[in-house]
A and B are shown apart, each in its own frame.
Chain A
Amino acid sequence: MSSNEQSKPKSGLFSKENRKLLADPFNMQNPVTVQVLGICSSLAITVKLQPAIVMGVSVLVVTAFSNLITSLLRNLIPNRIRIIVQLVVVAALVIIVDQILKAYVYDVSKQLSVFVGLIITNCILMGRIEAFALGNTPWKSFLDGIGNGAGYAVVLIVIAFIRELLGSGQLYGYQVVPTDWYLNPETGTGFYSNNGMMLLPPMALIVVAIIIWVQRSKFKDLIEK
């Protein structure tokens, strides 16, 4: 816990420093492609765009508010039991999110099944709380939570976009590839076929790898020496 943060001169709500907190996780500090956190869920629920978007938003909400609440409590939490307190905060938020999903988007909630509950074990959450929220002011922690949640959501959406488009020929449940393009074994018309491999988790891993590859070849700073 840094103790001298209050003594710093007050900066504006969206000062350059604060905007960096929001923007960094999208690229140079992306939780999935750079820090390789939250890989599990990004393989499991990215077959279609809709669950991926819902999952991304859920994680964004949980990271943002768990960061905010932990940061508010940070000077009250005894250091030795901080993990338990953090877990209580995250678990409460996850249950709230889960109940809201069940109430308003029941179908998607069914598809996401255990993965909403498993947000609690998502490394991004604990990572941000431990590394950031415990040592920073609530507003900054809140922005950091939003930034990291959004960074995670963006990667999820990109993976789901590729997988749904190539795997099912659809986007957000709507048929994008014209149906008369499809090869018909009976009549021999058409030329296209969906890639079944895209629906399987191993291909999600390869799609993540491609995203990391593209990102690293664009931003050479990310390449380890």
Chain B
Amino acid sequence: MKFLHNFLEKIRPAETSPMYTLHNAIETFLFVPGHTTHSGAHVRDAIDLKRTMFTVIIALLPALVFGMFNAGYQHYRWLSPDLAFWTMDNLMYGAMRIMPMIAVTYIAGLSIEIYFAYINKHAVNEGFLVSGMLIPLIMPIDIPLWMVAISTAFAVLFGKEVFGGTGMNVLNPALTARAFAFFAYPTYMSGDKVWIGDSADLAQKVDGFSGATALGQYATTGTTSYSAWDAFLGFIPGSIGETSAVAILIGAAYLIYSGVGSWKIMLSGALGALTMAFIFNSVSGSMDPGPMKEYMSIPPHFHLVFGSAAFALVFMATDPVSAAHTETGKWIYGFMIGILGILIRVFNPAYPEGWMLAILLMNTLAPLVDYYVVDSNIQKRLKRAKA
């Protein structure tokens, strides 16, 4: 450790060069800076923003590792049935596809972040550490790398930097990247040819190949070939990190334990989703037969394990910057995300998933929710003061 510290000290560039910004970013990433506050309380927790972000990265690791195994499993499964899941081959295949995506995301995003930090003359913020890990996890595996790079650049530039950088963004940057890719390159973000690695290749080799996700099958046929238990464990096609509810729950437990993620948003989001699914269940009886009727009558708890519900509620909705900040606001915000997520998922004719749009919509409404929560609290206290 001492050696590393001395080494960083030795190569410290001049303060005016862009390399100084990069050096500063690496140094504060490795070592907690020794600054003290200039006034007021002088006791500081060692958990600064970088350490907070790192907590989220650790929470993401189970989903990431599972995603790598699953990427290989989904690909090789079509070539050899009865394939074991936890094999080195699967992991290698996934790593070879996912590692480049992560690298591309970090290079594209961090170069913009460092450039902006340099021209605005402040240290690099650590917000992108998490966004850069989230973006690959919410992309389909077959998306070309340059699309990931462009989406990331767009999200960092227009989702974050134009608002003033980390902590000022209205929208969740990772979801902004996904929304951009979704609207810009819809054929690489939806359909049944993108969720399994090398789908085009497999479609030629294997008869009866189908790369549709469980929700994709529900939307077109009203039923799925995957069981809810498989979906809970994660052995289904989908975006890289979203398939396994178990891996995500491990991350969620760590986030809640460390106090970084808000359990109120996760819980109220799940409740909102269940509520909406119950409503759909109860009205679907009077509907005309067809895939829509079937889709609406999926048992509520299925909605939480299929698609990206778990990932969205645990890692996306809880983004501390773009979520509601007041405690009551968090309940309202999470609940509305749950309601809208299922609503859009079932009724969206183009794409059978809704969490991205639901969370982005609620991101824009979060300040409004906070405003009314604070306002009602003021009114309540005024009334009490008068009485």
Contacts and interface: CB of A to CB of B under 8 A. Distances in A.
Contacts of B93: none
Contacts of B183: 196-197, 200
Contacts of A206: 158
Contact of A193 (B162, B188, B193): B188
Nearest to B184: A197
Given A191-B144, A197-B180, A185 B186 contact: no
A206 B184 CA distance: 14
Contacts of A198: 184
Nearest to B189: A196
Contact of A185 (B180, B184, B200): B200
Classify the secondary structure of B's interface with A.
helix
Interface in B181-216: 183-188, 193, 200-201
A188 B185 contact: no
Interface string A189-222: 0010101111010000010010000000000000
Given A183-B144, A206-B158, A193 B185 contact: yes
Contact of B185 (A187, A191, A195, A200): A195
A186 interface: yes
B229 interface: no
A188 B187 contact: no
Nearest to B151: A197
A165 to B, nearest CB: 14
A188 B198 CA distance: 10
Nearest to A196: B184
Interface string B162-184: 10000000000000000010011
A185 B144 contact: no
Interface in B110-164: 144, 146-147, 158, 162
A211 to B, nearest CB: 14
Interface string A77-118: 000000000000000000000000000000000000000000
Contacts of B147: 193
A160 to B, nearest CB: 18
B188 A188 contact: no
B186 A196 contact: yes
B144 to A, nearest CB: 7
A155 B66 CA distance: 49
A185 B193 contact: yes
A188 B147 CA distance: 16
A183 B185 CA distance: 11
A183 B201 CA distance: 14
A180 B187 CA distance: 18
Contacts of A197: 180, 183-184
Nearest to B185: A193
Nearest to A202: B183
B200 A196 contact: no
A195 B184 contact: yes
A78 to B, nearest CB: 47
A197 B177 CA distance: 12
Count chain A CB atoms within 10 A of each CB in B162, B184, B186, B188 and give the residue with the most: B184
A89 B201 CA distance: 64
A188 B146 CA distance: 15
Most buried by B among A183, A187, A200: A183
A196 B200 CA distance: 22
B201 A185 contact: no
A116 B193 CA distance: 42
Nearest to A213: B162
Contacts of A185: 187, 193, 200
Nearest to B147: A193
Contacts of A187: 200
A42 B269 CA distance: 39
Nearest to B179: A197
Contacts of B193: 185
Contacts of B201: 188
B328 to A, nearest CB: 32
A200 B180 CA distance: 11
Nearest to A167: B184
A198 B186 CA distance: 12
8 contacts: A183-B144, A185-B193, A191-B146, A196-B184, A196-B185, A197-B183, A197-B184, A198-B184
Interface of A: 183, 185-188, 191, 193, 195-198, 200, 206, 209
Given A183-B144, A193-B144, A196-B185, 18 more contacts: A185-B187, A185-B193, A185-B200, A186-B200, A188-B200, A188-B201, A191-B146, A193-B147, A193-B185, A193-B187, A195-B184, A196-B183, A196-B184, A196-B186, A197-B180, A198-B184, A200-B183, A209-B162
Q: Can you list the 4 inter-chain pairs with the closest CB atoms, starting with the nearest?
A: A197-B184, A197-B183, A195-B184, A196-B184
